[in-house]
Structure 1
Amino acid sequence: MRIALHGNVFNEEVKPCIQQVIGFLQANGIEIIISKKFSDKYVQSFSQPGNFEIFRRITPSHKVDYVISLGGDGTLLETVSLVGKTETPILGINTGRLGFLATTPKDLIDQSLKDLLQKNYKLDCRTLIKLETNADIFKQARFALNEMAILKTDSSSMITVHTYVDGEYLNSYWADGLIVSTPTGSTGYSLSCGGPIVLPHSNNFVITPVSAHNLNVRPLIVSDLSEISFKVEARSNKFLISLDSKSESVDSYVKLTVRKEDFQAKLITFNHLNYFDTLRQKLNWGLDLRN
């Protein structure tokens, strides 16, 4: 069995978790390969080479059975980008803060790894959003687990995002930006901008304006079978496009379309965790003396 590791934070609190994971896998005869970023941090933190095979992106030739993400939700989003269309199952171990996606806590590392090796887990298949554009951006990784966002580049002027759903005009959003999120991303940036929480397998996208300059504009839920396209006007003739944690500046002539990606992100979950538990814990629902 081959397992890949990815992570990018190696502080004193996280280092014991990394040693615990590597030690467990080696003790069980698992072959380990690590991401380039993980390798660089490993050498800096432990002052010794790990003698592991290094990858920059998972490909079928790596013959990886699982990928373990060691960090928070941002690290797991990076891991999804590294896995791409191979759809290799991802286990997110939360050594960060929130842990909406990386749901395995540090105190359950050994038990979770045992369950993984014994195949006592479920695969939670999450929809990805794909960006199609005539600009040379994001290279091979034009997809996201959480959202695609169109954002202004400065703090002085808003942008206008003319939006079309399946070729039909929807609206012109005068705003600081516009988010199209997956159900997974509905608890992220979209939520902070007033968007609704959508359950993971609802087969929808959420269109959420960022600081809209029209008070009657509200988030909109559309089918994830839809094709959503945009024309952007900006005074500076530049705006930002982001896919999860990646962002690039582009010119206003660039054509943008988003749709559901052909492949999915497969997240590993265990029986002791479920989505509603995560919502209550991470959003502090039910914190009332009456409960």
Structure 2
Amino acid sequence: MQVVVFSQYLKPTDIPYVQTLFDTLADHGIAAYVYKPYLEEISQHVTFRTNVGVFEGYKDFQVRKFDFVITLGGDGTILAAVTVVRDTEVPILGINLGRLGFLATVAKNKIPRAIKWLVNGQYTIGGRRTLHLEADPPLFGDTPFALNDFTVLKRDTSSMITIHTYVNGSFLNTYWADGLILATPTGSTGYSLSGGGPIVFPDSHTFILTPVAPHNLNVRPLVIADDSVVTFEVEGRADNFLCTLDSRYEVISSTNQLAVRRGDFKIKLVILKDFGFLETIRRKLAWGVDMRNH
């Protein structure tokens, strides 16, 4: 078995857990290839019992067969890994070294058990739909897609912006707000949830439109079919606005043409026993827990 180990940075408190991961991989005879910037950061802090390879990016998937990508961090680390994994269909296993994680579900003290289950095939694979941004002029280079969400946000002023929104060419609404979120079902537990949007099951064929601090109180989040094409026209007192795909952003103006549709591929996530969607949201949101007794 060959795996990619991906992370963005190393915190001193994470070193023991990173060491545990590489020790466990060595115990099971798993060949590890480490994302190059991360390898350069951890090489002085982690002892490798076996040689590790260097993983540089998307093109490496075309010359070498990898079975899994293991991320170390939080949900943001998985979103960063998605820009590298893209359409390769290599499943991602997220080990949570952060706080609240709906995608990185493996607790850091469960690393040996998680790798054992991976080796023994005690897991399922869940496909998560993406969204794709069509923009004129083009934005986000060769990664104009997102696993979680697309947003348009104000940038240079405290004033609201105006976002004219169309679904399949038909006018939906003009939003006067700080911004607008278009989330996938996976993204329904992210920024959209903070804006009052609903939690949607991952296999739902939907998008969620959630306004950010709308001026009209009767403007609520909206669920639409993900075979829709949603287009946006943005204007405001300032010349520039923010456009984001997950944690990536670009500056746009009112002349940019924006259309979002369902992505051409899915991102595969490893789902270990006892780490399914229902178990995760119950645990992360403390459903059914009477905090008065704690």
Asked if Structure 1 and Structure 2 have the same fold, meaning a TM-score greater than 0.5 normalized by the shorter chain, the answer is: yes
1:10-25 counterparts in 2 under 5 A? Answer: 10-25=10-25
The reply on whether 1:43 has 2:43 as its aligned counterpart is: yes
Q: What number of residue pairs does the alignment pair up?
A: 290
2:32 aligns with 32
Aligned-partner Cα distance in 2 for 1:75–1:275: 19
Letter in 2 for 1:127: R
TM-score (norm 1): 0.94
Unaligned runs of 5+ residues in structure 1 are none
Aligned-partner Cα distance in 1 for 2:88–2:228: 24
Aligned-partner Cα distance in 1 for 2:282–2:25: 32
Aligned-partner Cα distance in 1 for 2:163–2:81: 30
TM-score (norm 2): 0.93
1:172 aligns with 174
Q: Report the secondary structure of 2:158's partner residue.
A: coil
CA positional deviation for 1:257:
0.7
CA positional deviation for 1:108:
1.6
Q: Give the counterpart of 1:100 among 99, 102, 111.
A: 102
Deviations 1:137-194 (A, max 9, x none): 2211111111000001134221111111011110111111000001111111111111
Aligned-partner Cα distance in 2 for 1:93–1:35: 15
Letter in 1 for 2:69: V
Letter in 2 for 1:134: D
Q: Report the secondary structure of 2:199's partner residue.
A: coil
Aligned-partner Cα distance in 2 for 1:289–1:106: 24
Q: Does the aligned pair in 1 maintain the 2:2–2:31 contact within 8 Å?
A: yes
Q: What is the RMSD of the two structures over their aligned residues, measured on CA atoms?
A: 1.9
Aligned-partner Cα distance in 2 for 1:289–1:234: 44
Deviations 1:17-58 (A, max 9, x none): 11111122223322221213312321364599x752231335
Aligned-partner Cα distance in 2 for 1:160–1:47: 54
Aligned-partner Cα distance in 1 for 2:42–2:137: 35
CA positional deviation for 1:211:
0.7
Q: Does the aligned pair in 1 maintain the 2:117–2:123 contact within 8 Å?
A: yes
Q: Percent identity?
A: 45
1:88 aligns with 90
CA positional deviation for 1:229:
0.7
The worse-fitting range, judged by mean Cα deviation, of 74-83 and 56-65 is 56-65
Q: In 2 relative to 1, CA 122–155 (structure 1 residues): closer, same or farther, beyond 3 Å? A: same
Q: In 2 relative to 1, CA 39–137 (structure 1 residues): closer, same or farther, beyond 3 Å? A: farther
1:55-204 counterparts in 2 under 5 A? Answer: 55-57=56-58, 59-204=61-206
1:226-241 counterparts in 2 under 5 A? Answer: 226-241=228-243
Letter in 2 for 1:149: T
The reply on whether 1:215 has 2:233 as its aligned counterpart is: no
Unaligned runs of 5+ residues in structure 2 are none
Aligned-partner Cα distance in 1 for 2:253–2:65: 39
CA positional deviation for 1:136:
3.7
CA positional deviation for 1:65:
1.1
Aligned-partner Cα distance in 2 for 1:83–1:248: 21
Letter in 1 for 2:114: S
Aligned-partner Cα distance in 2 for 1:54–1:183: 30
